[in-house]
Amino acid sequence: MKRSKSSTFRHQSLQDSDSIATILSALQEGFAKGKLVLSDESGEIKLTPSGLLNVKLSADEEEHRHKLTLRISWQSPSQLPAKKGSLKVE
Q: What is the pLDDT of residue 13?
A: 97
Q: Among candidates 36, 38, 34, 75, which has minimal Cα distance to 53? A: 75
| pLDDT tens track for 11-52 | 999 999 999 999 999 999 999 999 999 999 999 999 999 999
Provide the residue ranges of all domains of the chain, joining segments of one domain with +.
17-76
Indicate the pLDDT class of residue 82, thresholds 50, 70 and 90: low
Indicate the pLDDT class of residue 3, thresholds 50, 70 and 90: very low
* Residues 6+ positions from 70 with CB-CB distance below 8 Å: 55, 56, 57
Cβ contact 47:34 at 8 Å: no
Q: What CA–CA distance (Å, rounded) separates 83 from 68?
A: 36
Cβ contact 12:38 at 8 Å: no
pTM: 0.76
